[in-house]
Amino acid sequence: MALFKIVNKNLTPIDKAHFELEKDIQKLTEDNLNTIFGLEFVCSEYQLQNLRIDTLAFDKENKSFVIIEYKRDRSQSVIDQGFSYLALMLNNKADFILNYNECMKDNLKRNDVDWEQSRVMFIANNFTTYQRKAIEFKDLPIELWEVIKYENDLVLFNEIKPAEVKESIKAVTKNTTIRNVSREVKKYSVDDHFGDNWDKTWEIYEKFRDRILEIDNRIVESPKKIYIGFKIGNSVLCGIHVQKSKLVLWLGRTRPQDLKDPEKKVLYRKKSMEHYNQHISDFYLKEESDVDYGIFLVRQIYEKYFR
């Protein structure tokens, strides 16, 4: 990916630099985990049985562990390695909980963790074509992140997205580890939030999604277990809870009185501060005609927090 700077109205390429050591990438990532990925750093070089985890992190939003590996061996399969780490964690949940509590001086309990949303992230200067194609499955709890250093201490963390998403990995593998992990770990898609024959809500959602993505090209669709989020960086702009008869648009950090709501359609979610540590307000999209008003509300959140 070429970057340029403007010099006297002309574009001058910014040359790539190099990390002297792989360890430099790990140190930079661990020191800035929250800034880059919105994750909580737990520990470095966690050894368990015959495997060592480079960085162990915790996703507080999804209440799940994230294993981060800095890819050095370009010939090794990210699928095999990734599922081996997930199997290690799922088979040793108590050890991960104990390690978290010792490192974080906390009292996390086993039931406080959503093991279903566990995932592995690989970070490297670059990945082979084979490794990039290996993640072309719709339910893969594995992410590839390319880190590129430029001159003047500029750094880019870029997620490698698959060119096309194929069928479920469970349908094409006979690997016992992958099958066992896949029964407990799930990467959610937008389709997972819709039941059969929910055509009306799907049409409303498609219209809403198209409109919200037009607001800013930084906005990305991010399906989670209980909602579909729309995020800018690590921050959620808004979320959608899908129901058979309607979509519930939730607006974080917001009370009805914080919004221009001439039709008084915004409802405050009671006890949201108690449960989510923030004010949350809801708006129902029951018809396609409600999308305009929903976007009107979202734009106010966008102008307030993301401009």
- Enumerate the domain spans of the chain: 10-184, 190-305
CA distances (Å), origin 237, targets 103, 177, 298, 304, 305: 31, 37, 8, 10, 8
277-286 tens-digit pLDDT:
899 999 999 9
Tell me the per-residue pLDDT of 79-99, one tens digit each, with 9 for 90 and over: 999 999 999 999 999 999 999
- Is the pTM above the cut of 0.95? no
pLDDT of 129 above 80: yes
Give me the percent of the chain exceeding a pLDDT of 70: 99
190-305 CATH fold: Yope Regulator; Chain: A, (3.30.1460)
Fold (topology level) of 10-184: Trna Endonuclease; Chain: A, domain 1 (3.40.1350)
Classify the phi-psi angles of 152: left when phi > 0, otherwise alpha if psi is within -120 to 50, otherwise beta: left
